[in-house]
Every structure is written in C-alpha cells, then in structure tokens.
C-alpha cells in the first residue's frame, strides 16, 4: 500500500467544512450518498432517483419521481442562441471546453436571479448537458444539426440517442445509468471544492458549475478516464501493457486511472464498472481491451500497490459502448453536476466565505530601489 503522508500539500487530511451529502473511504474504502451505499444505489436505483436524493436528502416516491422526470424531460431542449454558439466551436476544441462554454452561456440566457431559483438552475443544467455535448459533437464532426429532444425516458438513454441518432439497447441504457450513479458525488473532491468556494462568495449557480467543469477537466481528476483510454489503446497485448507500464513507472510517469487522494486500498466503484466492462467485452466477442485493462490492474497492484480508481474501467466500458473517447469526461460532467449543485446548495444553507490562510515563504520586507539603480 502507498505510504501516504497526511496533511501539508494539497490540504490532504485537513477538514475544510461539513457535509451531509456523502462519505468517502470512511471505513477505508466505502462510499455513501446521504447514507446509501453506492453499490446499493447502483443495483437498485436510477440516476434520476440519485439526483433527487442529492437535491432533496431523500429518495423519491413513485409519484415524486414521475413529477421530477417530467420536469427534467421538459427542460432538455437548447435555446437557438446557444445552438448558434455551439455551431461556432471548432471540431478540434476540447469537449470539456464546449461544456464549460455551454454552461456559462446558458447562464447568460437564463440567469439564476436569486437563490430561490437554485433547484431550477441545477435541473436545467442536468437536462441540457447531454444536448450541449451531443449537439456540438454531431454538428462539428458530422455536419448534422440534431433535434435536442428525444423520447428517451432516462437521461442516460437520452444522451445515447442524441449521440447516435438510434434508440439504445436496454443494456446500454442501464450501463449508462450505473455509470452516472457512480460518478454523481464524491465529497470535497477538487471540482466540488471549487464549486463550494465559488458558492461561498454568494455567486450564482452557473458560475459555480462553470468553475467546477474547468477543475474536472484536468487529467489528475476527471480527465483521467480519457487519458486511461489513450494509454490502454497503445498497448497491443497484456504482456505489452506490462512492459510499457514498467517503462512509464521507470520514467516516473503517472499511470492514469490509478491511485486516489482518499481511498487507500481500493475504490468501491471499480468492482462495479469493471463487471460491466467484462460483460460488454464478452458480448462484443473481442475481449482484448478488457484483458489488457486487467493486466494493467494486476501489474500496478503487484508492483506499486496502486489500485484502479473509478475512471480506469470506465474507459473500456465506454469504448465497448461505442462512445468516442473525447466525450468520456463530459459524461462525467453530466453526472457530477448533481454533486456539485447539491454542494452549492449546502454551502449556501450555512455560508461563510471560504478563505484559508497561507504560510508565507517569500523575501523579508524590503524597499523599492529606483528603477535606474536596479
Ligand atoms: C475521479 C477522480 O478524480 S479519481 C482520480 C483520477 N486521477 C488519476 O487517475 C490520475 C492518476 N493518479 C494520480 O495522479 C494520483 O493518484 C491522484 C492525483 C489521484 C492522488 O494524488 P495523491 O493524493 O497525491 O497521491 P498519493 O499521495 O497517494 O501518491 C503517493 C505516491 O504514489 C504515486 N502515485 C500515485 N498515483 C500514481 C499513479 N497513478 N501512477 C504512478 N504513481 C502514482 C505518487 O507519485 C506518489 O509517489 P511519490 O511520493 O514518489 O511522489
Ligand atoms: O474524490 C476525489 O479526490 C476524486 C473524485 O472526484 C472521485 O474519485 O470521484
């Protein structure tokens, strides 16, 4: 196991506030949302139920869920002005930049005037994000102006239909639902903390979420699922994976999709998404991507005692579903938005501006030498 020093750099091990939304690694490896184990939710709930749970503190009844889904389904379309902005973003832009711009621009068109509108703003973004991603992707890559409304009941199914223009299989809908549940919430991770810092200044929901998207983009955080895919695609076999990873570790390169700031021996989401990757691999007939991923997992544990985080087997899972690699991290946005917005609401409910201190390491006090004498 990695011998981790707590405290110091990265605020590691220091409490930065309270939350009732989530526990991470409380018993060394667990993850709960509002008291529910994530594996229980992945087995027995839908993503919309989890979104409702995070925004309201309780799972919905049948009637509450139906009302909530009807509300979300009525908010899926994009304003024409946003479509026109998305049309201007080039095909080689990073899709996370597209999400950031889409979120920010929607905040201009439909601003959160006051905090009584916070649920509406969060739900609007939740409903609109799949279309922001897929409208831009289809327009810039295929030259197609897609209809942003579908008859799909779930957000996961809606995303798949917008992306491919075809009704997804029941299995793909379920995998997407599980994936969105696994990614939804994770306590004071870097992007959520960004959202809370922004919220603590009494800024608006769109600004909080835009900042969080920018923070999730980095490869040490949400960008790791995409980076893991780029890596495993370069490996030609399980043996080649081990040889190449040995070289990477030798050169002190980070292996994306491994390790975690909080978990010590495993990430509870890995076993769930790994099982889906295996199932999809077997059904696909070509299991090489899964076999290579398993070889990576074994090698990293055997040599460094580093384990797969939630991102690693998401890479092969999404790939088996035919999702383009560049959309992996934006899917994470569609899910984690629920956690971000719930934290913004929690921060607002008991706010004090977040403003830590710093340990000064600069020069001693000195006086300005006139410029011609320097
Ligand atoms: C959804 C998410 O955001 S999950 C995280 C996604 N990010 C990644 O997968 C990127 C790869 N992983 C990492 O970079 C790190 O593990 C992080 C950023 C997730 C956590 O960082 P930290 O809390 O600083 O890691 P930690 O303290 O456990 O690191 C201990 C040692 O293990 C090494 N290590 C940790 N992860 C890795 C890795 N993936 N590859 C190689 N070495 C690693 C560190 O370099 C460090 O070694 P050092 O002391 O010689 O520098
Ligand atoms: O908690 C973290 O540091 C990273 C994160 O968001 C996650 O693992 O989902």
CATH number for the domain whose boundaries are 224-321? 1.10.230.10
Q: Is 50 exceeded by the pLDDT of residue 211?
A: yes
For the chain, what are the domain ranges? 22-218+327-349, 224-321
Main-chain dihedrals φ then ψ at residue 7, nearest 5 degrees: 85, 175
Give SS3 for 36: strand
DSSP states of 226-268: HHHHHHHHH--SHHHHHHHHHHHHHTT---TTB--SS-SS--T
Using the mean position of ligand 2's atoms as its centre, give its distance from the Cα of residue 23 in Å: 11
Give SS3 for 46: coil
Domain 22-218+327-349 - what CATH class?
mainly alpha
Which residues make beta-bridge pairs with 150? none
- Which residue's CA is the closest to the ligand 2 atom numbered 1? 189
- Which residue's CA is the closest to the ligand 1 atom numbered 36? 259
Buried b (16+ CB within 10 A) or exposed e, 292-313: bbbbbbebbbeeeebbbbbbbb
Give SS3 for 97: helix
Q: What is the pLDDT of residues 30-40, one digit of tens each?
A: 999 999 999 99
* Atom in ligand 2 nearest the alpha carbon of residue 260: 3
Instruction: Say yes or no: CB of residue 172 within 6 Å of ligand 2.
Output: no
- Note the pTM of the prediction, 2 decimals: 0.96
Q: Which residues are catalytic?
A: 260, 311
Using the mean position of ligand 2's atoms as its centre, give its distance from the Cα of residue 57 in Å: 21
Percent share of the chain, pLDDT over 90: 95
| Alpha carbon distance 310, 284 (integer Å) | 22
- Which residue's CA is the closest to the ligand 2 atom numbered 3? 189
Is the Cβ–Cβ distance between 186 and 339 less than 8 Å? yes
Give me the pLDDT at residue 8, please.
67
Instruction: Say yes or no: CB of residue 335 within 6 Å of ligand 2.
Output: no
Which residues fall within 8 angstroms of residue 354, CB to CB, at 6 or more apart?
16, 17, 196, 197, 200
Using the mean position of ligand 1's atoms as its centre, give its distance from the Cα of residue 113 in Å: 40
Q: What is the pLDDT of residues 85-119, one digit of tens each?
A: 999 999 999 999 999 999 999 999 999 999 999 99
Mean pLDDT of 343-348: 98
ipTM for the whole complex:
0.97
Instruction: Say yes or no: CB of residue 186 within 6 Å of ligand 2.
Output: yes
Q: Which residues line ligand 1 (CB under 6 A)?
A: 2, 4, 220-222, 224, 254-261, 306, 309-311
What the block records as the tokens of 374 is 């320097």
Using the mean position of ligand 1's atoms as its centre, give its distance from the Cα of residue 272 in Å: 21
Q: What is the pLDDT of residues 285-343, one digit of tens each?
A: 999 999 999 999 999 999 999 999 999 999 999 999 999 999 999 999 999 999 999 99
How crowded is residue 275: how many other Cβ atoms within 10 Å of its Cβ? 13
- Which residue's CA is the closest to the ligand 1 atom numbered 16? 259
């Amino acid at each position: 196991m990695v011998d981790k020093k707590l405290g110091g750099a990265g605020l590691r091990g220091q409490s930065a506030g309270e939350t009732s939304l989530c526990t991470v690694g409380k018993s060394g490896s667990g993850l709960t949302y509002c008291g529910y184990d994530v594996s229980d939710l992945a087995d027995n709930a839908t993503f919309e139920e989890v979104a409702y749970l995070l925004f309201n503190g309780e799972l919905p009844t049948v009637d509450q869920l139906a009302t909530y889904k009807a509300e979300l389904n009525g908010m899926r379309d994009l304003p024409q002005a946003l479509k026109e902005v998305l049309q201007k973003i080039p095909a080689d832009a990073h899709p996370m930049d597209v999400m950031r711009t889409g979120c920010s621009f929607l905040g201009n068109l439909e601003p959160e005037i006051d905090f009584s509108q916070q649920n509406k703003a969060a739900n609007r973004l939740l409903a609109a994000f799949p279309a922001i991603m897929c409208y831009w992707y289809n327009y810039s890559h295929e030259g197609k102006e897609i209809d942003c409304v579908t008859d799909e009941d779930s957000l996961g199914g809606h995303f798949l239909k917008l992306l491919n223009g075809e009704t997804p299989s029941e299995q793909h809908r379920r995998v997407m639902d599980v994936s969105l549940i696994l990614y939804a919430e994770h306590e004071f991770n870097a992007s959520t903390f960004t959202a809370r810092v922004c919220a603590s200044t009494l800024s608006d929901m769109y600004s909080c979420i835009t900042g969080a998207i920018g923070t999730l983009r980095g490869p040490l955080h949400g960008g790791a699922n995409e980076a893991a895919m780029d890596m495993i695609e370069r490996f030609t076999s399980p043996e080649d994976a081990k040889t190449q990873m040995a070289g990477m570790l030798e050169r002190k390169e980070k292996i994306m999709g491994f390790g975690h700031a909080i978990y010590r021996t495993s990430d509870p989401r890995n076993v769930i998404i790994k099982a889906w990757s295996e199932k999809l691999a077997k059904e696909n007939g070509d299991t090489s991507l899964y076999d290579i991923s398993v070889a990576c997992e074994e090698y990293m544990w055997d040599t460094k005692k580093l384990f797969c985080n939630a991102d690693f087997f998401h890479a092969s899972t999404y790939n088996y579903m035919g999702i383009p690699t560049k959309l992996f991290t934006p899917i994470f946005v569609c899910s984690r938005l629920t956690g971000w917005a719930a934290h913004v609401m929690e921060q607002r409910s008991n706010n004090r501006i977040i403003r830590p201190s710093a340990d000064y390491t600069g020069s001693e006090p000195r006086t300005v030498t006139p410029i011609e004498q320097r």
